[in-house]
Amino acid sequence: MPMSSQETKMALLGNLTTGIRQVRQAQRADGPACVLAIGTANPANCVQQEEYADYYFRVTNSEHLTELKAKLNRICTKSAIKKRYFHHTEELLQGHPEFLDRTLPSLKARLDITATAVPELAAAAAAAAIAEWGRPAADITHLVVGTYASAHMPGADHRLASLLGLDPSVRTTMLYVNGCASACAALRVAKDIAENNRRARVLVACAELTLIMFRAPQEGHLDTIISQALLSDGAGAMIIGADLEGSEGSLFEMVAASQTVVPATAHAAVGQFGEEGFLFHPCIEMPAIVRQNVERCLVDALGPLGLSGRWNDLFWAVHPGGRAILDGVEEVLQLEPKKLAASRHVLSEYGNMSGVSVIFVLDEIRRRHDEHRGLGVMLGIGPGLCLETMVLHACM
């Protein structure tokens, strides 16, 4: 019997729906996103932490502020940092008196420098990741770039793509001013791209330069002193992809990602661009806020995976935001000291490179792979105040 027009319509719709579902399935990867390679880079200028107060007060012509210098010395001594790297040098600062004096406009001059310095440092880290990955740069399909140190159009993503010789069809995403959560946010985005686009190979690159906020000390501005004591420059890059091909190997499987804003803590890490560059204010309660909220956030994020409370069964890549932050996480979760050894190592050797730091920590964890098997957690701390987690499975 011939079909009625209604039946014909329904059959066509059914075929269409099946067809669309098949197209959608074919678009997606089968396996989970994996970290395929890691690269890091730092600028050449290295300053020992024990010499930092002398260096900083000399280059800013501020030797007369003896109490502030003594305070910076106290903080440096308690920071558990040995050395830090910076793009800016004494010579560069001498050529820019406006970077020292907060009454002079300096944003344009700072951005003129970071327009090339951010993508160049990111390119150094990315080139190392691509070399380890072993495939041509032109095989990268997506690029996710994070930084707080530039604000240009076209952005650091386009300049980086050109420096690396990426294919013009590469799909780029630029993430600005995510503070210390930049790499966590970029990796969360990369995970979704890799799992939803068959054969996608995502380059994540984050670069942070403190030049955008460098200035002389001033009474009443303790945020400058704390930033000067802890923050530093660096870049980290990773290649992310699912369904490995050829010689590709997986360092970490990206199991699950989450982000939680801690209520009523918007004041904890505040930043703003102004004529005088980037003004950053990390509040003094930051370590206490993290200590009071980290376990609840982890229970919420890891509970559904059956991992809640088994903290010492996991490996940990905690953002080394400061010694007191690591101490607080270790104490609340009752972690064995070795669990935060990679984070403490990165803090000691490089300082707080903001969002880039967790890439260095994961790089360190894969070097110590005998101690870090099975499941682990990358924990980022960023503005909001937000806690970012990603559960990882070490495959090395």
Ligand X SMILES: CC(C)(COP(=O)(O)OP(=O)(O)OC[C@H]1O[C@@H](n2cnc3c(N)ncnc32)[C@H](O)[C@@H]1OP(=O)(O)O)[C@@H](O)C(=O)NCCC(=O)NCCSC(=O)CC(=O)O
* CB closer to ligand X out of 58 and 74: 74
Q: Which residues form the interface with ligand X (CB under 6 A)? A: 71, 74-75, 78-79, 179-180, 222, 226, 230, 269, 282-284, 286-287, 321-325, 352, 354, 381-383
Short-list 339, 393, 386, CA closest to 361: 339
In the complex, minimum distance from the CB of residue 146 to ligand X, in angstroms, rounded to a whole number: 12
* CB closer to ligand X out of 114 and 210: 210
Please give the residue whose beta carbon sits closest to ligand X in the complex: 322
* Residue reference for tokens 């944003």: 107
> What is the amino acid identity at position 202?
V
In the complex, minimum distance from the CB of residue 386 to ligand X, in angstroms, rounded to a whole number: 8
Report yes or no: 362 and 355 within 8 Å, Cβ to Cβ: no
> What is the amino acid identity at position 50?
E
Report yes or no: 315 and 376 within 8 Å, Cβ to Cβ: yes
Short-list 228, 184, 229, 230, CA closest to 206: 184
* CB closer to ligand X out of 201 and 323: 323
Short-list 283, 351, 302, CA closest to 323: 351
* CB closer to ligand X out of 172 and 176: 176
Examine residue 154 and say whether the peptide bond preceding it is cis (omega within 30 degrees of 0): yes
In the complex, minimum distance from the CB of residue 347 to ligand X, in angstroms, rounded to a whole number: 9
In the complex, minimum distance from the CB of residue 373 to ligand X, in angstroms, rounded to a whole number: 28
Rounded Cα distance between 140 and 168, Å, is 10
65, exposed or middle or buried, with CB in 10 Å at 0-12, 13-18, 19+? middle
In the complex, minimum distance from the CB of residue 379 to ligand X, in angstroms, rounded to a whole number: 12
* CB closer to ligand X out of 198 and 221: 221
Active-site residue flag, 395: no
* CB closer to ligand X out of 199 and 267: 267
Rounded Cα distance between 207 and 197, Å, is 26
Q: Which of 34, 180, 297, 386 is catalytic?
A: 180
268 contact partners, CB below 8 Å, separation of at least 6: 262, 282, 283, 285, 286, 289, 383, 384, 385
Tokens for 122, please give them: 């990111």
Task: Estimate the crossing angle of helix 52-59 against helix 222-230, to 10 degrees.
Answer: 130
In the complex, minimum distance from the CB of residue 360 to ligand X, in angstroms, rounded to a whole number: 13
Q: Which residues are catalytic?
A: 180
